Amino acid sequence: MILRGESCLLRPYALGDASWLLDLAGDYDVVRWMAASFPHPYTETDALDWVARASEERPCENFVIEFAGEPAGGIGMRPQGGESRGVAEFGYWLGRRFWGRGLATAAIRLFVPYAFEERGMRRLEALVFSHNVASARVLEKCGFEREGVLREAVTDRDGIVMDSWQYGRLRG
């Protein structure tokens, strides 16, 4: 499934995506405030493993963000189970050279209807490191609300302890 917008498109990962992924995700400033499960340094093995997993997803949960025909980053969700079925953790990232173009906002605006309408989610959740003000602003522009502050909940890659902001958006 390909999601097309005016300024970008979202497409499933394909086996040839490891090289650009390695290039963009290897930048420390890109991963600085991402979950530690996103490794740094980002190795060829990391890229190959991710692409192998993501390219096999049915239905698709993680997409490549493309801008002007070039891969620019990723966006995706992790649906929850049990009492949290219908809820998904949500996240996105862009390579540094794609920052400041409104691309994250455009990608989220494509992804959210897919998550709610095609995948049947009722709620998307995102955690943001409190120093990542730009990401918080993007979420707010896309209809997410800051629901709370998790005080001193995260440690960034430089060892700095900071708050985490909980964002949520409901279907409808």
Domain boundaries, the chain: 3-125
User: Cβ neighbours of residue 6 under 8 Å, at least 6 residues apart?
Assistant: 106
SS3 15: helix
Pairwise CA distance, residues 154 & 60, whole Å: 29
Q: Which helix (H) or strand (E) holds 31?
A: helix 28-31
pTM for the model stands at 0.93
The angle, 0 to 180 degrees and rounded to 10, between the axes of the packed helices 133-141 and 103-113 is 50
Closest by CA to 88, choosing from 76, 72, 99, is 76
Extract the tokens encoding 163: 């708050």
Fold observed for domain 3-125: Aminopeptidase (3.40.630)
Question: pLDDT tens, position by position, for the chain (172 residues)?
Answer: 899 999 999 999 998 999 999 999 999 999 988 888 898 999 999 999 999 999 999 999 999 999 999 999 999 999 999 999 999 999 999 999 999 999 999 999 999 999 999 999 999 999 999 999 999 999 999 999 999 999 999 999 999 999 999 999 999 8
Pairwise CA distance, residues 34 & 94, whole Å: 11
